A and B are shown apart, each in its own frame.
Chain A
Amino acid sequence: MQEAIPYRTTFHHSLITHSPSPASPRRDGMVAKMVADNAVIVVGRSGCCMCHVVKRLLLGLGVNPAVYDVEEKDEVGVRTELEALIHGRDKDEKVLHFPAVFIGGKLFGGLDRLMATHISGDLIPILKKAGALWL
């Protein structure tokens, strides 16, 4: 049974956002570490509006996701790193689409899967189990 969560409209959460900057360029393994360290992390291209949708959906549920903005120049590197984490049986499953959501250190999917899971009522339990939500 789902607990009814009050929906907050204007919402300013301090997101744990990491983007590579000139001062601290992306180090190998940085993304993978963030995936492992955070209950929920959203990895998307910087400035992408779909990424924003994912973020706002999770925030609206009371989740404080980590966010990793991928610069265009780093995209290939990040993609390789993350695809290595995916345990897929066939080649198709190993392809990563941005924005990508990782829950409990594992690839969950994109906005499609997020919305479908939320509508079917299964998302909140998954988030709770991963420790992203407490009630």
Chain B
Amino acid sequence: MNSPSTQFVSSRRMGVYDPIQQINMWGENFKSNVNLSALIGEADGKFINQPEDASHNTLGTSKMYGQEAHRPIDKIQRRLAQNREAARKSRLRKKAYVQQLESSRLKLMQLEQELNHARQQGLYMGGASDCNNLGFTGTVNSGITTFEMEYGHWVEEQNRLVCELRGALNAHISDNELRIIVDSIMNHYFELYRKKSAAAKADVFYVMFGMWKTTAERFFMWIGGFRPSKLLKVIVPLIEPLTEQQRFDISNLEQSCQQAEDALSQGMDKLQQTLGDTIAAAGPLVEGPYIPQMAAAMEKMEALVSFVNQADHLRQETLQQMFRMLTIRQAGRYLLTVGEYFQRLRALSSLLASRPREPA
């Protein structure tokens, strides 16, 4: 016959005893004294109205068979106690499950809200670009889907390269061998910029606002990526020792980079300003979806693609210039530090995402 534990499992969700198991229990010990068939009939009738609480049955049991020998009663009592315990645990599990469902429901509502909000933003900015690539509007931006997939692979490959570089630097391999690894990492970065450029043509806002990056990385975002001068300022102190000449040259690089960034930022400000003016000048919407100013506004938005490309171009040039100014070993340390820095940012994002939310 079924073991007690199996019975518990099957009736877990109901928190109710399986009457057959009870019958088995009783039947084992009181075969001679009990009308088994009568019991079964009774149990069937009781099945639907089976109370959750064990005490009823315990009372019933003791009332019916109280006059019997102690040993069998001990066994019964023990088993009933086990039943009670199992029922209690079952109730606790049910409670935990329900709580989990509730919190998941809340999270789902939150996510839906966020997505709707993002979709609204997408509609405001107009144009054919889908702000979110989840196909809510029925169209999926294949350029972005491709990029998302490629970026996933890129990060994996990047982690592998960083690991390899770390190993190589610790193992003190020859400069020529190190150069090969350094070159492959540099090319890997250049590959990313090419992919970003293609993605920007598909959906410039997706790239510009770093939808493909993790939350902590997005905090530092400047035109579709990290601010190159900031990266220099953060990472360079960590790759000492440097010669006096190197420190001087790097300082000049930081300044040139800052100047280029400021020029681009001012260009972005001008774009915002002219766009704002264009939309303000549009006047009341007339019949038809487009009016001249709206078309002009949309055209201006496309200028963002140039900005993303120029910003990436700046990042690439800065990286190449750093490479020219450092020895191969220093370049290796620089790339390792940069790689680890971004790994930490991504890890931070994961931690933030998995943190349990405080109840409101």
Contact = CB atoms under 8 A, between A and B. Distances in A.
A119 B256 contact: yes
B43 interface: no
B242 interface: no
Contacts of A16: none
B303 A119 contact: no
B255 A7 contact: yes
A49 B270 contact: yes
Given A112-B313, A119-B314, A120-B321, A50 B255 contact: no
A119 B314 CA distance: 8
Contacts of B310: 50, 53, 111-112, 115
A53 B259 contact: no
Contacts of A52: 266-267, 270
A121 B258 CA distance: 13
B108 interface: no
B253 interface: yes
A47 B300 CA distance: 10
A7 B258 CA distance: 9
A57 B270 contact: no
A4 B260 CA distance: 15
A56 interface: yes
Contacts of B259: 7, 57, 60-61, 118
B256 to A, nearest CB: 5
A53 B311 CA distance: 12
Interface residues of A, number: 24
Contacts of B257: 119
Contacts of A57: 259-260, 263
Nearest to A57: B263
Interface in B230-258: 249, 251-253, 255-258
B82 interface: no
Contacts of A15: none
A53 B266 contact: yes
Interface in A6-57: 7, 9, 47-50, 52-54, 56-57
A115 B314 contact: yes
B318 interface: yes
20 contacts: A48-B303, A49-B274, A49-B300, A49-B306, A50-B303, A52-B266, A53-B263, A53-B267, A56-B266, A57-B259, A57-B263, A60-B259, A111-B310, A115-B317, A116-B317, A118-B259, A119-B314, A119-B317, A119-B318, A121-B256
Given A50-B303, A119-B256, 8 more contacts: A47-B274, A56-B262, A56-B263, A56-B267, A57-B259, A112-B313, A116-B313, A121-B321
Give me the 9 closest cross-chain CB pairs, A-B, nearest first: A53-B267, A57-B263, A56-B263, A119-B317, A49-B271, A56-B266, A52-B270, A49-B267, A53-B263
Interface of B: 249, 251-253, 255-260, 262-264, 266-268, 270-271, 274, 300, 303, 306-307, 310, 313-314, 317-318, 321, 324
Interface of A: 2, 4-5, 7, 9, 47-50, 52-54, 56-57, 60-61, 111-112, 115-116, 118-121
